[in-house]
Amino acid sequence: MAGSAATVGVLALQGDVREHAALLASLGAEAVLVRRPAELAEVDGLVIPGGESSVIDKLSRIFGMQEPIRTAIADGMPMLGTCAGLIMLADNVTDAIEGQESFGGLDVVVRRNAFGRQVESFEAELDVPELDGGPVRAAFIRGPVVESVGPAASTLASLPDGRVVAVEQGSLLGLSFHPEITGETRFHERFLARVTARKSRLR
């Protein structure tokens, strides 16, 4: 598997941490929970899970993780952000609570809770040309939407109405939805391929 030699962290401050760790392990990666800067320094890539972005932001500062993650992004560490994780990787966030910050890295503007309340969650089929194997079944749970994509980033998937829900830029991959709860593995595989490629380059 692509992740067989990779140690991948899941930011374990809040959110659906266990689901990501289980999926990564099923793909052959060594999945570890990351809460402290010293733990981040030991991994080859990082997943930022769904949850509540304002809480993840607040806890990342309490645990001293904000600047180490920003530094890791600048250094090219591959990262996958889903739902709240996409918000945390966005350079600009609209509808943020007062004082809310992101890690940044993706040249996009993201709107929080763009699909409404949790009771308005839904699933959709997405066409993702970069992925083989047919459409992606995507679950949206109080998810964000990418309102604009800057020149440094690229769109991977959009809803039929044109709203962008998956983007990438260099070693960063951001999704509005939750592949870890629908059994969709291809985005994690794409992420792990980048992790192992970077690990090989750094040897």
Among 83, 168, 184, 188, which one carries the catalytic annotation? 83
Catalytic, 184? Answer no
Q: Which of 20, 52, 168, 178 is catalytic?
A: 178
Gap between the Cα atoms of 63 and 8, Å rounded: 19
The vertex-183 CA angle with 2 and 178, nearest 5°, equals 95
Whole-angstrom Cα distance, residue 74 to residue 154?
18
What are the φ/ψ torsions at residue 99 (nearest 5 degrees)? 85, -5
Calculated CA dihedral for residues 155, 143, 183, 191, nearest 10 degrees: 40
* 20 catalytic per annotation: no
Choose the catalytic residue: 20, 52, 168, 180.
180
Catalytic-residue membership of 130: no
Catalytic residue ranges: 83, 178, 180
